[in-house]
Amino acid sequence: MASRIASGLLRRRAGSTLGLLRSYTHVRNYSSQLSALIPATSQCSKLTRRSYYTPNASPYQVWSRSFASDNGDSFEAVVPFMGESVTDGTIATFLKKPGDRVEADEPIAQIETDKVTIDVASPEAGVIEKFIVSEGDTVTPGTKVAVISKSAQPAETHVAPSEEATPKESSPPKVEEKPKAEVKAPKVEPPKTQPPKPSTAPPKTSPSEPQLPPKERERRVPMPRLRKRIANRLKDSQNTFAMLTTFNEVDMTNLMKLRSDYKDEFVTKHGVKLGLMSCFVKAAVSALQNQPIVNAVIDGDDIIYRDYVDVSVAVGTSKGLVVPVIRDADTMNFADIEKGINNLAKKATEGALSIDDMAGGTFTISNGGVYGSLISTPIINPPQSAILGMHSIVQRPVVVNGDILARPMMYLALTYDHRLIDGREAVFFLRRIKDVVEDPRRLLLDI
């Protein structure tokens, strides 16, 4: 019995082994036939590694070339995604010209939106054949901007000889034509030049008409898109809000002494300088927590109270005023706020601010004192309800404990929406900032 079972097992193993050998032979023969049909090229080796084969004229290969033409030599640079709240932009300037060589991810054009400037980059290296759009055109995400060729050569060496040859050939006929025109001109010009002389005389004799400067001394340029957006928002703010401004002055003696005493240790530990702005942000956070109505906003017939504080910091750039946001300022310390301000200021100067950097914000601080402003009435940044204006620090005589002393003083201005915020809350808000700045120890003790 045992011998029968053993012989049966041996037969089954032999049969399975024979089947495997036959299948291996079949696969080997098939692979040899397939290798004879397919040329041994790099393209086929890539295809076989992907376990499928498509001929050269396969539609899959044409579809797989992103931004490429049928021959695979040229591709297109398109407008990138500009943010959820931005639907279009304007071609501000071209950083390259046709015939220039560009590398992968190198900017070739700039698009100006309502909030930021966005670069259009080349997806691959090549030479620009042509631009499909022009400066001033309005474009949307996905719009084709330029056609770039991989194999073309820069056109600088071919343009120079043609430019040198054309002026040499065209200059002699111009010299011959000028004397002919000069001979005919004296016969016709005298009667034409005489009438303008009496026509220009009457305006000089009439003292009542103002003498306007000539048009040649004026320049007319299109308004940048960012400046248009700023103008519209500021005018909408004036038309929408019932704006009222309250003022106060703050003695900066203690805060400046605190900064002077610990600035070196602060830089050593945190790697960033201790500025005055971080203290005003912390003071604003404390004031907003004491007067939450200033952090609220009107939405139709409702009032929305925000239990978080996102402080917008106004930054002036060469292209206009931008207002990036410090997120969750109520959870930050002095070092985090200083790092955030420095990062946003650097990005604003370089024009690298994104839509997310400026979206939102519950309260704005504008420091006009860095430009020397003594006092001003800032305009509310919609849809917020208030804005704090800081100004320059000036030594002024003040009365301290009955004595007249020279102290570094700063005027503060709070512009608020009087529809939502009463004068009482606005004054209490500004008083809280004054108390905290004049005695920073209040922040530590929360009093």
Can 422 be counted among the known catalytic residues?
Answer: yes
The better pLDDT of the pair 245, 226 is held by 245
Task: State the catalytic residue, choosing from 422, 435, 439, 446.
Answer: 422
* The pLDDT value given to residue 234: 87
Residue with tokens 């024009």: 351
* Contact yes or no for 75/124 (Cβ under 8 A): yes
The fraction of the chain above a pLDDT of 90, given in percent, is 38
User: Residue 27: how many CB atoms within 10 A of its CB?
Assistant: 10
pLDDT in tens, 342-397: 999 888 888 788 888 888 899 999 999 989 999 999 999 989 999 999 999 999 99
In the predicted model, is pLDDT for residue 444 greater than 80?
Answer: yes
Greater confidence, 88 or 36? 88
* C-alpha 41: how far from chain center: 46
Q: Is the dihedral of CA 124, 128, 130, 134 positive or negative?
A: positive
Q: Using one digit for the tens of pLDDT, what is the confidence trace for 162-180?
A: 444 444 444 444 444 444 4
Nearest to 320 by CA among 154, 129, 115: 115
Q: pLDDT category, 44, cuts 50, 70, 90? A: very low
- Does residue 89 contact residue 118 with C-beta atoms inside 8 Å? yes
Looking at the DSSP bridge assignments, the partners of residue 112 are 90, 117
88 is catalytic: no
Name the residue with tokens 């007319």.
220
Q: What is the pLDDT of residues 66-105, one digit of tens each?
A: 344 445 678 888 888 877 667 788 888 888 888 888 888 8
User: Positive or negative, the Cα torsion across 268, 269, 273, 274?
Assistant: negative
Q: Under DSSP, is residue 372 helix (H, G, I), strand (E, B) or coil?
A: coil
The whole-angstrom separation of Cα 40 and Cα 37 is 9
Give the pLDDT mean for 296-310.
94
**Active-site annotation holder among 119, 137, 418, 435:** 418
How far is the C-alpha of 95 from the C-alpha of 117, rounded, in Å?
13
